[in-house]
Chain A
Amino acid sequence: MILTALADGAQHGYGIITDVRDISGGQVRLRAGTLYMALDRLRADELITVDREEIVDGRLRRYYRLTPAGTKLLADEAARLQAHASVALRRLNLAGGMAT
């Protein structure tokens, strides 16, 4: 979900939280602790990196973006999920066709 949120471009922490909420249709609500635990792991695995830092209203805002490895991982995972979804939909349509 976090990688998907960054697929459009660099985002800061709060931006990722709101984006994940939108992507999931309000079903996933990331909390700050969970988010920064995940960001730390993704940075350690070199899937994301810090893009830039800004000070807004006296507060630090750090932007993250996907690395080439992160982009590839997200693309591979999306393709895998799409393949699974296609098979599931095809079989469901087949089952529906047989039933009628």
Chain B
Amino acid sequence: MTDQADLERAYRRLLAWYPREFRRENEQEILAVLMADAPDGQRRPGLAQSADLIRSGLWMRLRPSVPRSARTVRAAVRLMYAGAAVSTVNLILLLALIGDVEIYHAILRHHLTAAQVSQVSTLFITVCILWDLVPIAVWLWMAQACGRGRNWARIVSTVLFGAATLNLTSAFNWLPPGNPFDPRPDVLRPDPPGAVLAGRPRRGVAPVAPRLQSVLQAAGLHAGPVARTL
């Protein structure tokens, strides 16, 4: 009897992953099925059963509740989840690069010393992570609201998409000078690798400073010679 009570309590905790309105309607029924399916003497849910309940509960929270016939709304919801996925990738890339102090040099344009960079880095990291977490949360929220047929969510997400595009555009300005996206013709252009290896810089260009070279390598950019800015 105690085993049964323990097991039921554990299942109730797992069912908390489901949305409240779904639980209100189905919790007793699902519990009955879970208890009937459990072997005698079982006191805790199995790993696979727990994973299945958590996965299903999350899906029930995220799935659009509009009917399948509302295809444009469902497409909009899918795009919003794609927006959240892209923001997540952005955050992962940020976390992968964040430990590299050279990136701060690149972003802050060498205006700070290494000691100053180490002082501001904690704050900088925190702000960067929050800056990337907010759009993920907003995209998920918009997708949920849109999936429930809220028209305002589509308007807000359109504004969010515009802001994200502007953010992406401005992000290019944060890249080190001479990156492949830099439209200015008088700064770095990638040099043929052969010339770099041979140590014969082209006329009118100077070798990249060692520190900038390491910054470019850290940023995954080609570290060829940099042209003199006129």
Contacts and interface: CB of A to CB of B under 8 A. Distances in A.
Interface of A: 12-14, 17, 31-37, 40, 44-45, 56, 59-62
Interface residues of B, number: 25
9 contacts: A13-B29, A14-B32, A14-B36, A31-B52, A32-B30, A32-B52, A45-B68, A60-B29, A60-B32
Given A31-B53, A33-B55, A59-B32, 15 more contacts: A12-B33, A13-B33, A14-B33, A17-B37, A31-B48, A32-B49, A33-B56, A34-B56, A35-B33, A36-B26, A36-B30, A36-B56, A45-B68, A61-B29, A62-B29
Most central of B26, B32, B53 by chain A CB within 10 Å: B32
9 closest cross-chain pairs (CB), A and B: A33-B56, A59-B32, A33-B52, A31-B52, A13-B33, A60-B28, A33-B53, A37-B56, A14-B36
B60 interface: yes
A32 B37 CA distance: 9
Interface of B (DSSP majority class): helix
B230 to A, nearest CB: 64
B107 to A, nearest CB: 44
Contacts of B48: 31
Interface of B: 22, 26, 28-37, 48-49, 52-57, 59-60, 65, 67-68
Centre residue among A13, A35, A56 by max chain B CB count within 10 A: A13
Contacts of B68: 44-45
Contacts of A37: 56, 59-60
A13 B35 CA distance: 12
Contacts of A14: 32-33, 36-37
B49 A61 contact: no
B33 A32 contact: yes
Contacts of A40: 22, 60
Contacts of A62: 29
A45 B59 CA distance: 17
